[in-house]
Amino acid sequence: MRKRRTIIALVVLSAGLIAWLAHRGWDSFSPGIDRLLLLLPDGTDVSDPRVTAWLDAASEEGLHLVPMHDSSFLGPLLGVPRCAGVILPDSIHLAASDLLVNAIRKYVAGGGKLMLVYDAATESLEGLYARDRSRMSDLAGVDYGLYNSLRAGMIRSSNVSGTNSVMNQLGVPPGKYYPLSSQAASDLVRGEETFSVQLRRYKYGDLEYPSFVTSGEYAGEVLLRSQAGIVAGHHPYKNGSVLFVNLPLGYLDGYTDGLPLHVFLKYFARQVLSLPYLLAVPDGIGGLVLNWHVDSNAAIKALQAMNTWTILKQGPYSIDITAGPDTYAFGDNKGFNVLENSLSQEFIHEYARLGNEIGSHGGWIHNYFAAHVDTDNPKEMAKFLELNNDALARVAGKPVQEYSAPTGNQPQWVTRWLEERRFVGYYFTGNTGMAPTQGYRDGQRSGQSIWAFPILHLDRAASFEEMGSAGYSDALIERWLDLATHFTVAHRQVRLIYFHPPGILPYHDVVLDWMKITARLREQGVFRWYTMVEIGNFLNARKMVNWKLAEHEGLASLEMSAPRTLAHQTWRFPKRKFGHPRIVEGTAAAVLEDDDGWLVIAGEGNHLKVEARLIEK
């Protein structure tokens, strides 16, 4: 009996100690105030690609996302773990118990913030849909999962629309939504004109997404709609709030459409929760990668003409070249021929001298390689990659580290080949509209230290010659270039635009005006040209940065460290939640104020500590 009493006393004491530690933190600061919880069914392996896709996306957005199994969330000792918000993801969390659904409802009612995604918790543990509507409908703010009345028709695919101002707020770049406005670009970025737009797809235009059909009035802010009803919205629920995203975000990310997952993670963290985050650009300065594709000797006259333009007064640019003597077939002598053509060599030497990055554009013979790279034996096709790589490295005088696939055709074996040879970046026609990413293809992670640079497109077209063929006017193209540039400035991000030199020639005046805009923004210190190599190396260094946010008595403490240096890494604190940051330890290059936030730019050194007063709302 005495032994039993002792055990009970120890259990009570342990529970009290754990609760006290959870309240006080292991030191004087309580951790977890910025972490997001990704709820997973018990038994789910956190290395499952459906889980890591979410974790990787959050990391790329500079956020702390922590996987947590349902039983830990339901643990009775401490209640809901300390966190900023909870995410119930699609696909992997299709089934949920009534106990979990009620616990989530109680969490939100008590003041919690929830991001509820698509089919999460729409099935019982027995795999059955609720007869009338999803059990999560009250949390979503609208009825959905209408199995009893619609059966298979409860999910419908259609175009997704919103307003330009919402797209900008979400971080969707212009061109990925369409149409564009006739209003001045800078006014549009600031949201001074509002009109209806649709999400669009490169080459095909129409872009349909599956959503649950919704029914009833939505008592909140509608972000996106489709023929199915509400696609995304944010609404209050008792003392908390719910961001309902009626799209299969995780699934889409696994199959080269990661933009929806990234933009809603970002919206939840920044707009709903006002969390600090680590920016993905050096010194917090956004910009563009201008990627030149030199396919053949047809580019020579175009390059000669471009040498007289003001474009070469800026940069650096990513200039990727197919190096062999042929283009369409062996022996046609239509290639750029960098080993034997002295004019081609002069171009490369001059571009390298100006600080541009010389990259590889496929394998030696442009059109032949593009047509055979995904059908022929990879070992045979790799020989062309090797030839191209070696020739450019020899002429440029340094290793080649970036790549562009001819016609965008890049099977996964090519990505592996590039990464094995320490390439750090490649242009990519998947994940369009996104910032550089280490995305997923066919549900699996594609690369560990090499970054995909998705193209930015104007509706159905990306390169200048495509825009001409599609009939877009010079005025529209110029407006898009202006908008895209201002977008990278406002959002402090990087995007890639590509072209072929012959295709840019008819747009001399458009490019001239564009260069005036970028030159002015560069002089203001708010815009930069980047190369794939520069950003790829920066993002790999960023992955090595460790940082944590803690709180004590209304004071937030942010500590950062890195194996080598923190230089150029930048954190942003929203003003509505944080006061002016103060450097406590280490060296900061600058602490700056922008419209609605504070920027802390790290200096040399591998440790930095910042404190800021929390503002109660």
- Domain assignment of residue 474, yes or no: no
Q: Which of 278, 300, 321 is the last residue of a domain?
A: 278
In this structure, the answer to whether residues 393 and 452 fall within a common structural domain is yes
The owner of tokens 């609720």 is 130
Give the C-alpha separation, 90 to 145, whole Å: 13
pLDDT for 6 beyond 90: no
Q: Are residues 222 and 303 in the same domain?
A: no
Are residue 308 and residue 438 in the same domain, yes or no?
yes
Task: Please name the amino acid found at residue 501.
Answer: P
Distance from C-alpha of 415 to C-alpha of 437, rounded to nearest angstrom: 13
Residue pair 62/277 in contact by the 8 Å Cβ criterion: yes
In the chain, the percentage of residues whose pLDDT exceeds 70 is 92
3-class DSSP state for residue 194?
A: coil
pLDDT, mean of residues 218-227: 96
Q: Please determine, for residue 574, whether its predicted confidence score (pLDDT) is greater than 70.
A: yes
Up-side HSE of residue 238: CA atoms within 13 Å toward CB?
13
Residue-wise pLDDT tens digits, 489-518: 999 999 999 999 999 999 999 999 999 999
Q: Mind listing the pLDDT tens digit for each residue in 468-482?
A: 999 999 999 999 999
The boundaries of the domain holding residue 313 are 291-458+493-508+528-538
Quick count: other Cβ atoms within 10 Å of Cβ 445? 14
Are the C-beta atoms of residues 196 and 161 closer than 8 Å to each other?
A: yes
- For the cut 70, the answer to whether the pLDDT of residue 186 exceeds it is no
Residues 272 and 412 in one domain: no
pLDDT in tens, 325-366: 999 999 999 999 999 999 999 999 999 999 999 999 999 999
On whether both 385 and 446 belong to a single domain, the answer is: yes
pLDDT of residue 77: 59
156 in the same domain as 34: yes
* Average pLDDT of the segment spanning 262-279: 97
Residue 278 has a CB neighbour count (10 Å cut-off) of 18
Q: Are residues 264 and 303 in the same domain?
A: no
Residue from 572, 601, 576 nearest 589 by CA: 601
Helices (H), 354-473: 366-372, 378-396, 412-420, 464-470
Label residue 75 by pLDDT band (50, 70, 90). confident
- Residue 596 sits in a domain whose CATH number is 2.60.40
Is 394 a member of any domain?
yes
Domain count, the chain: 3
- Whether 588 shows a pLDDT value over 90: the answer reads yes
Same-domain pairing of 54 and 130:
yes
CATH code where residue 422 lies: 3.20.20.370
Residue 337 located in a structural domain:
yes
**Strands across the sheet containing 177-178:** 65-69, 36-40, 85-88, 113-117, 240-245, 229-237, 221-226, 161-163, 196-199, 177-178
Tens of pLDDT along 293-311? 999 999 999 999 999 999 9
Does 435 fall in a domain?
A: yes
Of 234, 237, 246, nearest to 157 by C-alpha is 246
Produce one character per residue of 371-391: b if its CB has 16 or more CB atoms within 10 Å, e if not.
Answer: ebbeeeeeeebeebbebbbeb
Q: Does pLDDT of 271 surpass 60?
A: yes
Determine the pLDDT at residue 183: 56
Whether residue 322 has pLDDT greater than 70 = yes
Residue 470: predicted pLDDT: 94
Q: How sure is the predictor about 270, in pLDDT bands with cuts at 50, 70 and 90?
A: very high
Q: Is residue 5 part of a domain?
A: no
pLDDT band at 131 (very low <50, low <70, confident <90, very high): confident
Dihedrals phi, psi of 260, to nearest 5 degrees = -60, -45
Predicted pLDDT of residue 42:
97
The CATH number for 117's domain is: 3.40.50.880
Token output for 391 = 């020739």
Q: Are 191 and 168 in contact (CB under 8 A)?
A: yes
Residue 189 in this model has a pLDDT that exceeds 80: no
Report how far residue 609's alpha carbon sits from residue 593's, in angstroms, rounded to the nearest whole number.
Answer: 18
Residue 4 pLDDT exceeds 60: no
Pick the last residue of a domain from 236, 257, 278. 278
Q: Residue 33: what pLDDT? A: 87
pLDDT tens digits along 196-218: 999 999 999 999 999 999 999 99
Strand partners, 178: 198
Q: Could you say which of 235, 255, 278 is where a domain stops?
A: 278
The answer on 332 and 440 residing in a single domain is yes
Q: For residue 8, is pLDDT > 80?
A: no
350 found inside a domain = yes
| Same-domain pairing of 255 and 365 | no
Domain for residue 166, yes or no? no
Q: Are residues 86 and 221 in the same domain?
A: yes
Structure confidence by residue, pLDDT tens digits, 376-387 = 999 999 999 999
In three-state secondary structure terms, 587 is coil
Whether residue 431 contacts residue 495, with contact meaning beta carbons closer than 8 Å, is answered with no
**What confidence score (pLDDT) does residue 76 get?**
64
Per-residue confidence (pLDDT) for residue 324, from 0 to 100:
98
Q: What is the pLDDT of residue 29?
A: 54
Condensed to tens digits (0 to 9), the pLDDT of residues 231-250 reads 999 999 999 999 999 999 99
Residue 424 and residue 322 share a domain: yes
Query: 452 in a domain, yes or no?
Result: yes
DSSP 260: H
